[in-house]
Each structure stands twice: as structure tokens, then as C-alpha cells.
Amino acid sequence: MAATPPDVVAIREQVYKDPRPKEHFDPFHARTRGGEPDWVYEAVRMVTSTYAWTFFRARGHESVKVPASGPVILAPNHFSFMDHFFLGAFIRRRVSFMAKSQLFKPPMQWIFTHGGVFPVRRGYADEEAFRTANAVLERDGAIVMYCEGGRSRTAELSEQPKRGIGRLALESGAPVVPVAIHGSSHVRNWKRGHFPKVDVAYGDVIQWDRIAEPTPDQQQAVANEIFSRVKTLYAGLRD
């Protein structure tokens, strides 16, 4: 496993398999499929956005590229548990996103499900997560899906994205906005009293024709194209 850079606070090893049965998470999926995030989303956004703007001097670039209405997939890189808050701080739309099922425990699970978060059981072929994601898009909602799946453990972009983002783009036919988040790999340094500057860049919309059952190769090809654009945006922020 790659070593953690000296200026980055180490994060815990990921636990991939949740021992709880699929049925345990059905109510959370039903809540997300049934409607948009409610007032809880706005309350959390107000608090986390203020935190992001004040302590991390977070700035958004070209957020106007995110469609104001209709289905859209936001496809960012992933370094930190704060990434979805950084991304959402600069757009007015309420966005839903996947989170690892291990996080769905009282009392936070109530906040998650009312805030538009739904579980994904990593380590399994979790079709329910894709059904929920497609349901959000079918009702003209916005959804976040990280290109790399889980968080990068090295403070660097992954070499290759997971094909799930390609699958969702093809199954839904929804527009995709690549997003680069720079600086969030150091967010956990707040424990040392360090608050890095975070920038979020939104890219041009891209879209593919809808394919009901895309092959793994088709899914990976689309994922690679999306992530290539994320890398370009990220390089622009870094430089």
C-alpha cells in the first residue's frame, strides 16, 4: 500500500463489507426514491458551506456550468469526507449522493436520509444503489457519483476511475458535469491547526446516448473519458 505523504493526516483503513443484510437499507432507498432532500439538506448546507468558506477559504469556479434544472450527474474526484459539502456549496440545486452503508447508523442515518444521502454496500454487487441513482435522475434530480469510488488514500488522483460512473451515465443518458476538487486531501490537517485552501472547478457538460445494458467495456470507456476531464480540471487548479 502506498505510504501517506508526511503533510497529510492518515485516515482509517476502509471497511468494505457491511454485515447487515440488503433489506436493512431498503427504507433509506425508498426515502431517496420518493422525493427530493428536504429542509435538513438546507440546514446542513448552511452550516457546512459557512465552515468551508470561512476556514478553508473554499472557492468555486464556473459553477454556472451545472444545469439549473433537469437530470444531471456531478462527477468529482474524491479525497475527503467534506468533498460533497465543498461541491454543493457553490450550486443552488439540492444533490443526492451515495455514501458507504457503514455510515447509516443512529443518529446520523436520519440526517443522511433526509439530506438526500443513500447507501451503497461496497464489496457487493449493489444493484439497489444504481436503481436509486437512476430514480433520482428520472425525476429530474441531481446526483453526485465519485469517479474513483472510495476516497483516494494517497492524496493523489487515482490512476483509473471505477466504471460505475460510466454505467450510470449510459443507463440514464443524463448530462454529466466533471468536477475537480483541489486541496481537500489535506482537510484532515485541521487536527494540526492547518486549514488548506480548497478550490472546486466545474467542467463542461458531456452526454452520451442512453444504453439500457451497457457492456463493462462501454462503461469503462465512458468513465475514462469523464475522469480524463476531471484530471484536466484538477491540473488547472493545481497549477
Helix axes 164-172, 216-238, angle to 10 degrees: 110
Q: Kindly tell me the burial class for residue 198, based on how many C-beta atoms sit within 10 Å of its own C-beta (0-12, 13-18, 19 or more).
A: buried
| pLDDT mean over 176-189 | 90
Q: Indicate left, alpha or beta for 193 from its phi (over 0: left) and psi (-120 to 50: alpha).
A: left
Specify the higher pLDDT residue, 170 or 113. Answer: 170
Backbone angles phi, psi at 202, to 5 degrees: -105, 130
- Average pLDDT score, the chain: 91
**Residues 141-165: pLDDT tens digits?**
999 999 998 888 788 999 999 999 9
Distance CA 178, CA 66 (A): 10
Enumerate the domain spans of the chain. Answer: 22-238
Task: Give the pLDDT score at 1.
Answer: 45
Q: Cβ distance 168 to 205 under 8 Å?
A: no
Task: Give the pLDDT score at 37.
Answer: 94
Entry pTM: 0.89
| pLDDT mean over 128-136 | 96
140 has a pLDDT exceeding 50: yes
Q: Cβ distance 77 to 181 under 8 Å?
A: yes
88 has a pLDDT exceeding 50: yes
179 has a pLDDT exceeding 60: yes
**Residues 184-236: pLDDT tens digits?**
988 876 666 678 899 999 999 999 999 999 999 999 999 999 999 999 999 99
**Residues 45-55: pLDDT tens digits?**
999 999 999 99
Task: Give the pLDDT score at 152.
Answer: 83
| pLDDT mean over 71-94 | 95
